[in-house]
Chains A and B, each alone.
Chain A
Amino acid sequence: GAGVSQSPSNKVTEKGKDVELRCDPISGHTALYWYRQSLGQGLEFLIYFQGNSAPDKSGLPSDRFSAERTGGSVSTLTIQRTQQEDSAVYLCASSQETQYFGPGTRLLVL
């Protein structure tokens, strides 16, 4: 079956622009996670969706970051007014028990 997919695979943007990153989870997985991985660093938790519950936003680094999950499936992570320090790989994972990851979106803010 299909795994977690993410788009775009790469994104280059200018400082101050908004970006949207998309995640398509594995069908039937109720939980969806977003992480950020900076060069040579571990995974930094950003946000977690579980079913119809209110999302756990405790990892979002600032109010420029937001995420939605529509219909319990596809999720979009939005970064407004991007800064150079937002450059990283953004990873999405979905799970029933074990988290399975997508390939990531590599974001470069110039």
Chain B
Amino acid sequence: EDQVTQSPEALRLQEGESSSLNCSYTVSGLRGLFWYRQDPGKGPEFLFTLYSAGEEKEKERLKATLTKKESFLHITAPKPEDSATYLCAAEGAQKLVFGQGTRLTINP
């Protein structure tokens, strides 16, 4: 059975303190690894898609990387507006499987 596990469940950082969020996946025939951001009371907002191990994508202070077993979302010098829940999802032969998310809080 396809599985996606995110860690940590919650992370508090000071503004400017860089860190990484982890997404471990077990998916048969990975077709894509997706990262979304979700703000309270809103639907998930698409950030990145990664297709193969070694691939990296960047957007502002975020960089997503992919290995054969994990994906990392690196956040560099975060700001309070980066506070949100970050969701990872893996697409195999069947439907997209989501992790439980990491709730990120950036304190000013």
Contacts and interface: CB of A to CB of B under 8 A. Distances in A.
B42 A99 contact: no
A98 B34 contact: yes
B96 A99 contact: yes
A62 interface: no
10 contacts: A33-B95, A42-B98, A42-B100, A91-B43, A98-B34, A98-B46, A98-B49, A99-B46, A102-B43, A106-B41
Interface string A62-95: 0000000000000000000000000000010100
Contacts of A104: 42-43
A56 to B, nearest CB: 7
A66 to B, nearest CB: 18
Contacts of A101: 36, 43-46
Main secondary structure of the interface of B (DSSP, over half): strand
B92 interface: no
B44 A91 contact: yes
Interface string B74-91: 000000000000010100
Count chain A CB atoms within 10 A of each CB in B44, B45, B46, B95 and give the residue with the most.
B44
B95 A48 contact: yes
Label chain A's interface by main secondary structure.
strand
Interface residues of B, number: 19
Interface residues of A, number: 21
Interface of A: 4, 33, 35, 41-43, 45, 48, 56, 59, 91, 93, 97-104, 106
Nearest 10 pairs of A and B residues by beta carbon: A101-B43, A42-B100, A43-B98, A101-B44, A103-B43, A42-B98, A104-B43, A102-B43, A45-B95, A91-B43
Contacts of A59: 95
Contacts of B100: 41-42
Contacts of A45: 95-97
A100 B46 contact: yes
